Amino acid sequence: MATYDFLFENLGMKEWCDDGGGSGPVSMADLLARKKGGEVETSVWDLPFPSMDAFNESCSNFPKSRELTSGLEDGFLAIKDVLKFILDPVTEPLSWMLDGAMWLAESTPWWIVIPFLLLVTYWVSRSWSIVISVGASILGLAFIDHYLPAVQTLSIVFVCAAICVLLGVPIGIAMSRSNRLQRGVLPVLDMLQTLPTFVYLIPLIFLFSVTESKLYGIAIILYAIVPVIRLTDLGIRMVDKDVLEAAQAFGMTPRQKLYQVQIPLALPNIMAGVNQTIMMSLAMVVIASLVSAPGLGVLVLRGIRNLELGVGLVAGLGIVILAIILDRVTKSALARVNAAQHH
């Protein structure tokens, strides 16, 4: 006799349970007890939690927890072909952009790539100290033969972060203008933000080949797009109502208010979201090395897999250096925006 037999008997479901052939012994303890002519005695200390498996021991028609996971897997596999048919053409440009960016970074000589990165750094930060620190960091990585993985990582981060901004800012603006849309999108953002990073890769492995760049590109975008959406929405909603009323009094249309008042005033928040998106893209690139994403993450993975302590630590240090570079450059741009608004 199982622990929760009484429950199904009191609910009048015993007949339904017996239809599933649940009268047989369910454990070795049951078998031994029946051989001795008695029943298994369960102490209150051994009372099992009323889980699906515990109920299944009393009622074989009650599904096991394993059947729940199998059902989810079967459901996903049933719609996999349809999803792949829809997503394949839509996401193919992402593969082209990632492959193109990496081909460009790998085929261009270092004496062009490094000065170009320094010019971009100066254009964004307008700070010679940051340019010098970025130059020293990249030259240091190149000196220890980590130049190629570093530019591969930066290429993936730039492409994915740019797509996140192109998609995330309009979504954030739309959310700020519609409470109903915000209520619908926020649970999705909550789920994306709290989902463990490895879980992003599971359905994508079933949908795409590991040789396709979009496999890890989609995972990075889904993981990193949340901050730029949230902070764009928040920044526009935080614009002072008196300023909006003044703009209204000057006869501005809603479009003029958005582009000439709300977005400029929300720019510090939007830039903070871009900073977070870039940092999360970098973090996900390392994890996506599990599904063939190139870059420094591959060296970290090699260090773990082959127990090569030095390889893993040096590659990890390279990732830290890239993170510091990206953080300093984007925060410098944010500081410039803040300074411009206070003058």
pLDDT above 60 for 322: yes
> Which of 41-55, 60-74, 317-331 is predicted least confidently?
41-55
Confidence (pLDDT) at 249: 86
Task: Please give the pLDDT value at position 330.
Answer: 87
pLDDT at 22 over 70: no
* pLDDT reading at 41 higher than 70: no
Can you give the pLDDT at residue 212?
86
Predicted confidence (pLDDT) at residue 343 exceeds the cutoff of 70:
no
Confidence of residue 56 (pLDDT cuts 50, 70, 90): confident
Where does the pLDDT of residue 37 fall: very low under 50, low under 70, confident under 90, or very high at 90 and above?
Answer: low
pLDDT one-digit tens code per residue, 75-92 = 888 888 888 888 888 889
**Phi, psi of 162, rounded to the nearest 5 degrees:** -65, -40
Nearest to 20 by CA among 55, 61, 58: 61
Return the pLDDT at 185: 92
Tokens of 101: 């960016």
Is pLDDT larger for residue 266 or for residue 4? 266
- Crossing angle of helices 197-207/214-237, nearest 10°? 130
Q: What is the mean pLDDT of residues 289-307?
A: 88
Confidence at residue 333, expressed as pLDDT on a 0 to 100 scale: 84
| Residues 6+ positions from 250 with CB-CB distance below 8 Å | none
Banded model confidence at residue 72, pLDDT cuts 50, 70, 90: confident
* Confidence tier at 163 by pLDDT (50, 70, 90): very high
pLDDT for position 273: 92
* Residue 185 falls in which region: left (phi positive, over 0), alpha (psi -120 to 50) or beta: alpha
Chain segment 105-155, per-residue pLDDT in tens: 889 999 999 999 999 999 988 889 999 999 999 999 999 999 999 999 999
Residue 121: both structure tokens together: 């750094």
Helices (H), 145-210: 147-177, 179-194, 197-207
Buried b (16+ CB within 10 A) or exposed e, 243-258: eeeebeeeebeeeebb
Determine what percent of the chain is predicted with pLDDT higher than 90.
Answer: 37
The candidate with the shortest Cα–Cα distance to 232, out of 159, 167, 327, 163, is 167
pLDDT confidence of residue 250 = 85
Contact (Cβ atoms closer than 8 angstroms) between residue 134 and residue 325? yes
Mean predicted lDDT score pLDDT of the chain? 86
Mean per-residue pLDDT for 274-294? 89
The predicted-structure confidence for 173-226, as pLDDT tens digits, reads as follows 999 989 999 999 999 999 988 888 888 888 888 888 878 898 899 999 999 999
